[in-house]
């Protein structure tokens, strides 16, 4: 006290002064809580960013699907419109809208040549009459095959007749139309089909008569008379629609030769060609297959009795 000595009174010391293990624990706990709060904040921010990114991505995917659906609908609409355009029966209606009286008048006109060169002659732009004439020619060919000595085996000849008649009508019409285009003739494809189709009326008359009356002299008379008149009618029409002597000669000569030779082919060579095709496909003429009854061998009564006894013993 008086000698300058310092005495520390431990009782008067403040327990809260300085650092202790408890204070360090509290600080560590606070720092840990702050770190957890910061981690939670960062995780929330990351989730918000991911949500925004996924939202943009979903929006883009939705827009892509909408665009794809619109393109599909537009393509489907165009395809259905094109299909309905080509499959609509109204397109073909003007070519078959004709009265029976008009067809009869055009059949008679197809046998009457008209000498008029200064002005183009009128051609009917319909296909009902020519189509019916082609089918009539098919029926006449089948009738001629049945009335002749042709042996029909395993089926009919309708396919061959249809192929021959329609092949001539469509093929020769296309060829003459192409030749008319080269010769600068004023004719369309529909008019050419109508002209050649009505020109088959003379072929139908000639073949129907000569298939039932078998005289070659009668055929030649009808060939020159009836077939010649129908050919002259077509030639007169083409002459009135073509300019130039050389062009007229080429076009009309080709059509007349093809038309008259086709009638000769149908009368003389068609049956032989068909018979040759049948022989090639089916082989030589063979007699038709017949069922023959087979003789059942007679079984003796002793064998039957023995079999019956064996079955009885077994049962």
Residue by residue, what is the 3-state secondary structure of the chain? CCCCCCCCCHHHCCCCCCCCHHHHHHHHHHHHHHHHHHHHHHHHHHHHHHHHHHHHHHHHHHHHHHHHHHHHHHHHHHHHHHHHHHHCHHHCHHHHCCCHHHHHHHHHHCCCCCCCCCCCCCCCCCCHHHHHHHHHHHHHHHHHHHHCCCCCCCCCCHHHHHHHHHHHHHHHHHHHHHHHHHCCCCCCHHHHHHHHHHHHHHHHHHHHHHHHCCCHHHHHHHHHHHHHHHHHHHHHHHHHCCCCHHHHHHHHHHHHHHHHHHHHHHHHHHHHHHHHHHHHHHCCCCCCCCCCCCCCCCCCHHHHHHHHHHHHHHC
Distance CA 96, CA 109 (A): 19
- What pLDDT is stored for residue 237 in this prediction? 92
- 38 or 160, higher pLDDT: 160
- What pLDDT is stored for residue 195 in this prediction? 93
> Average pLDDT over the chain, rounded to whole?
75
Position 129 pLDDT exceeds 80: yes
Q: Of 243, 134, 106, nearest to 180 (Cα)?
A: 243
Position 293 pLDDT exceeds 90: no
What pTM was computed for the model? 0.60
Mean pLDDT score, 93-105: 87
Structure tokens at 247: 């062009």
Residue 222 CB coordination number (10 Å): 21
Distance CA 130, CA 173 (A): 12
- What pLDDT is stored for residue 108 in this prediction? 92
Cα–Cα distance list, 92 to 165, 181, 267, 276 (Å)? 22, 24, 34, 39
pLDDT tens column, 177-214? 999 999 888 899 999 999 999 999 999 999 999 888 87
Position 176 pLDDT exceeds 80: yes
Domain residues of the chain, as ranges?
A: 67-96, 100-282
Position 22 pLDDT exceeds 80: no
- What pLDDT is stored for residue 244 in this prediction? 86
Q: Of 154, 142, 95, 116, nearest to 235 (Cα)?
A: 116
Distance CA 233, CA 114 (A): 7
Spatial contact of 130 and 106, defined as CB atoms under 8 Å apart: no
- What pLDDT is stored for residue 18 in this prediction? 45
246: confidence class by pLDDT, cuts 50, 70, 90: very high
- What pLDDT is stored for residue 296 in this prediction? 43
């Amino acid at each position: 006290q008086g000698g300058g000595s310092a005495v520390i009174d431990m009782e008067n010391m403040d327990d809260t002064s300085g650092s202790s293990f408890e204070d360090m624990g509290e600080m560590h706990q606070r720092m840990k809580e702050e770190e957890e709060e910061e981690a939670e904040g960062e995780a929330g921010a990351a989730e918000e960013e991911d949500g925004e990114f996924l939202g943009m991505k979903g929006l883009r995917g939705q827009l892509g699907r909408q665009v794809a659906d619109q393109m599909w609908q537009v393509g489907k609409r165009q395809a259905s419109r094109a299909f309905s355009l080509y499959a609509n029966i109204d397109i073909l209606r003007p070519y078959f809208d004709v009265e029976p009286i008009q067809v009869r008048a055009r059949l008679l006109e197809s046998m009457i040549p008209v000498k008029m060169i200064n002005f183009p002659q009128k051609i009917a732009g319909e296909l009902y009459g020519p189509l019916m004439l082609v089918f009539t020619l098919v029926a006449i060919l089948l009738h001629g095959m049945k009335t002749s000595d042709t042996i029909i085996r395993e089926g009919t000849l309708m396919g061959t007749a249809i192929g021959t008649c329609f092949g001539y009508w469509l093929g020769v019409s296309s060829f003459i139309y192409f030749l008319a285009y080269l010769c600068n003739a004023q004719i369309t494809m529909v008019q050419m089909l109508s002209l050649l189709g009505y020109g088959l009326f003379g072929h139908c008359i000639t073949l129907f008569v000569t298939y039932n009356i078998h005289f070659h002299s009668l055929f030649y008379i009808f060939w020159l008379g009836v077939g010649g008149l129908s050919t002259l009618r077509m030639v007169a029409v083409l002459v009135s629609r073509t300019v130039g002597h050389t062009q007229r000669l080429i076009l009309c000569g080709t059509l007349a030769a093809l038309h008259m030779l086709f009638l000769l082919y149908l009368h003389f060579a068609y049956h032989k060609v068909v018979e040759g095709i049948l022989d090639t496909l089916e082989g030589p003429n063979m007699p038709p297959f017949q069922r023959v009854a087979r003789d059942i061998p007679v079984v003796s009564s002793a064998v039957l009795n023995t079999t019956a006894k064996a079955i009885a013993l077994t049962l």
